[in-house]
Amino acid sequence: MIKLTHISKSFGRHQVLKQIDLTVEKGEVVVILGPSGSGKTTLLRCVNYLEKPSDGEIAIGDYRLSCKHASKKDIHQLRQKSAMVFQQYNLFKHKTALENVMEGLVVVKKLPKEEAKTRSIALLEKVGLGSKLDAYPSQLSGGQQQRVGIARALALEPEVILFDEPTSALDPELVGEVLAVIRKIAKEGITMIVVTHEMGFARDVANHVVFMDGGVIVEEGPPAELFNHPKEERTKQFLKRITPELNYSI
């Protein structure tokens, strides 16, 4: 389980997150939606301390961290609990797909190279890239690079995988292959928090949907409830613009 309590974040005088409370149960897929600048990516990055929260508490599993008093050791322990899949892939350009996945296993997990190699090959096969083990990022499509990124995250066996708009940098025709892999992983019961603009994915895969705006959670609930019967006017406005095929009375 993940529990965020009173998470706040400011950049100078600008408060991006305002006392966010969010609970994610083990095995849940939680999708965070919202307009640009709503704070959703900042919130995701705060979960594993890529952004340092100004205040609040983060709990993943049985580990709790007070954001105001976190030491380097505390942050390191927190980061062992999660893995991030980025918008821009963040692969090592001078390493092959196989080497990119192996890196965390060898450097972070301290596995012997042969064991790391065996595990990494299996994960690349799982995401449909068994034939691309020796390919460098420049030889892969955006969708293939993102699937390497997903395999790399899975390799660390985290308690939660954080997806930061994993399809936003892709050509439209490549979006489906990445979402298919995420759907496959979701069926295995891996806990996920996904920031995305893919409404179909949110409706089909999420257990819980969170709508953010202005640094706060405006509304949250099961997909069927939030998409079909939103309670807040701001949620209705957003969904009317994003999903015009649905009729929301405003």
User: For position 244, what pLDDT does the model report?
Assistant: 60
User: For position 248, what pLDDT does the model report?
Assistant: 44
Q: Is residue 250 part of a domain?
A: no
pLDDT digits (tens, 9 = 90+) for 111-146: 999 999 999 999 999 999 999 999 999 999 999 999
Under the phi-then-psi rule, with left for phi > 0, alpha for psi from -120 to 50, and beta for the rest, what region is 247? beta
Residue type, 11: F
User: For position 8, what pLDDT does the model report?
Assistant: 97
Q: Is residue 248 part of a domain?
A: no
Q: Is residue 11 part of a domain?
A: yes
The answer for residues whose C-beta is within 8 angstroms of residue 91's C-beta and 6 or more apart is: 100, 137, 145, 148, 149, 152
Q: Kindly report the average pLDDT of the chain as a whole number.
A: 93
Look up the domain containing 185 and give its range: 2-242
User: For position 172, what pLDDT does the model report?
Assistant: 86
User: For position 246, what pLDDT does the model report?
Assistant: 55
Q: Is residue 97 part of a domain?
A: yes
Q: Is residue 247 part of a domain?
A: no
User: For position 250, what pLDDT does the model report?
Assistant: 39
User: For position 247, what pLDDT does the model report?
Assistant: 55
Residue 67 and residue 52 in contact, taking contact as beta carbons nearer than 8 Å: yes
Residues lower than pLDDT 70 in the chain: 244-250
Task: State the pTM of this model.
Answer: 0.92
Residue 89 and residue 148 in contact, taking contact as beta carbons nearer than 8 Å: yes
Q: CATH no. for residue 141?
A: 3.40.50.300
User: For position 108, what pLDDT does the model report?
Assistant: 87
Q: Is residue 36 part of a domain?
A: yes
Q: How many domains does the chain have?
A: 1
